[in-house]
Chains A and B, each alone.
Chain A
Amino acid sequence: MSTTLVPDRIDAKTWTRFTPGQRFARYTVYFALVLALVVSARSVEIIPEFLWDAPEQMQDLFKRMWPIAWAHYPGGVHDALVETLHIASLGTLFAVIMAIPIGICAANNVVPSKPINYLAKLVLVASRSVNSLVWALLFVGVFGPGALAGTLAIAFRSIGFVGKLIGEALEEVPRGSIEALQATGSPWLSILSKGYWPAVEPAFWSIVLFRWDINVRESAVLGLVGAGGIGLALNAAIDLFQWDRVAMCLFAIFVVVIVAEIVVTQIRKRVL
């Protein structure tokens, strides 16, 4: 390793005390990794017969998927697909509306109160730790099956993501311009709208678009637990073993996700 030798030597000179510790930590990680892998591989339940069977089954699956049931699209897929997009968009919007105040509370320079910062961060972490499918399960339990549950699931899962990034963007706003507004005697809300907002605006839109892109992907599965969207159509087709219709759904998801990604990258390139 020609390039890493030199830094290591510098390491040894300036950080002699820490090098053995670092080494030890690194070897611990390697060892733990290998151990975890070995233990996992030995104890995980895999039925070999199923595995040998897999290529055949896969072939069978693809054979059943082809030809794709294009005719199913207008009647069975289109509405569900549009619903998925609405769930993703509205979910992102609701998330942003809720995430802005929480993100502001999480930024120490905007709200200089440690307890409020920690409380806001706790809310954000809680939101991120629960998968959108779990949020969907919970909201289906509360609101019954349908798009409302899906929209709220997307929204609640996204709060953590959007809020965390908004908070971080706010904390990176240069102190100078904020100080200047404070010196003019501006009220807090005006400093927020005329000092912080212009500074984080590009980051904000970028975060929103990024999350919308992710949400388009995520909202496609929500139907599996009854929370609306194309997942419902997919689930129905799978339950009835109509694999050509499954293929239709998968294809529709594929196209929408790719188009969403292209739209987002284009907007980011042109506008932001």
Chain B
Amino acid sequence: MTTATPTTLSIKHLSKSYVAGKPVLKDISLDIADCGITAIIGPSGTGKSTLIRCINRLVEPTSGEIHFEGGNLVALDRSGLRLARRHIGMVFQEYNLVERLTVMENLLTGRLGYVSPFKAWLRKFPEADIARAFELLDAVGLGSFANQRADSLSGGQRQRVGIARALMQEPKLLLADEPTSSLDPKTSVEVMALMRDLCHARGIPVVVNMHDVELAKRFADRIIGMSGGNVVYDGGPAGLTDDVLKSIYGGEDWLQ
């Protein structure tokens, strides 16, 4: 969906090298439109995860610009970055819940950027936040789990909590770093469907990186193929022919 909808996120000439002289991302430029799921696919070690993490600067970009909500994220100082991150939700491969907190508390960590540390410590969250947390819990099908500890949940349930936590932020953009890689195939589909439905209803664009091409084709509105730190494909799922896949992953034995 590279139609002329207003762009939410605009990445310009982004490069990242962990070791000087060995760039993982090579001069990437991308515009993410105002809705729909954008899937980034590509072989392991090609910088998909680095790209996603550069957007909210969990990984510091080496050079380039990332424009979001009218500002350049790369140029922000610590407190500016913190305020900007409040508008970017993130879902992780290993769920990254705080294991010893309850599901409800995990959801409310999505509001920590808005609540003073002292009030957060006393668990004095605004009524509206708590009401919305219950709403989201119902939406992800975990309505009765509010007071259960996160470490008592299954992988699929944890990832639902992860999605709900990200949506608690009322984000303008959702990043998902391999959200289904630790889940079984059935749960993966359920989680992706959940993410698509919830974000579609709220008009939140999603950038997700995944290694499962079929899953990407099924759920993504736009697919970005990466190889060796470069974008080699950018288009709809229909255009993802075997030739394109070969150019992304190399070789052909793995294609049926």
Contact = CB atoms under 8 A, between A and B. Distances in A.
Contact of B120 (A180, A193, A201): A193
- How many chain B residues sit at the interface, stated as a range, is 35 or more
Contacts of A195: 98, 109
A184 B86 contact: yes
A202 B100 CA distance: 10
Interface string A172-198: 000011011111111101111111001
B113 interface: yes
Interface string A105-144: 0000000000000000000000000000000000000000
Contact of A194 (B83, B85, B101, B166): B101
Given A194-B105, A194-B120, A201 B98 contact: no
B117 A183 contact: no
Contact of A190 (B83, B100, B112): B112
Given A176-B92, A193-B117, A194-B112, A187 B97 contact: no
A77 to B, nearest CB: 43
A199 interface: yes
Given A177-B97, A194-B98, A199-B99, A184 B117 contact: no
A185 B86 contact: yes
A184 B113 contact: yes
B96 A179 contact: yes
> In the complex, which of the residues A183, A193, A195, A201 has the most CB atoms of chain B within 10 Å of its own CB atom?
A183
B115 interface: yes
A183 B112 contact: no
A185 B120 CA distance: 14
Contacts of B113: 184-187
Given A184-B112, A198-B98, 10 more contacts: A180-B90, A182-B58, A182-B85, A185-B82, A187-B82, A189-B118, A190-B117, A194-B105, A195-B98, A199-B98
28 contacts: A176-B92, A176-B94, A177-B98, A180-B90, A180-B162, A183-B175, A184-B85, A184-B111, A184-B112, A184-B113, A184-B166, A184-B169, A185-B86, A185-B169, A186-B113, A187-B112, A187-B113, A187-B117, A189-B117, A190-B120, A190-B121, A192-B117, A194-B101, A194-B120, A198-B99, A198-B100, A198-B101, A201-B100
Interface of B: 56, 58, 82-90, 92, 94-101, 105, 109-113, 115, 117-118, 120-121, 162, 165-166, 169, 175
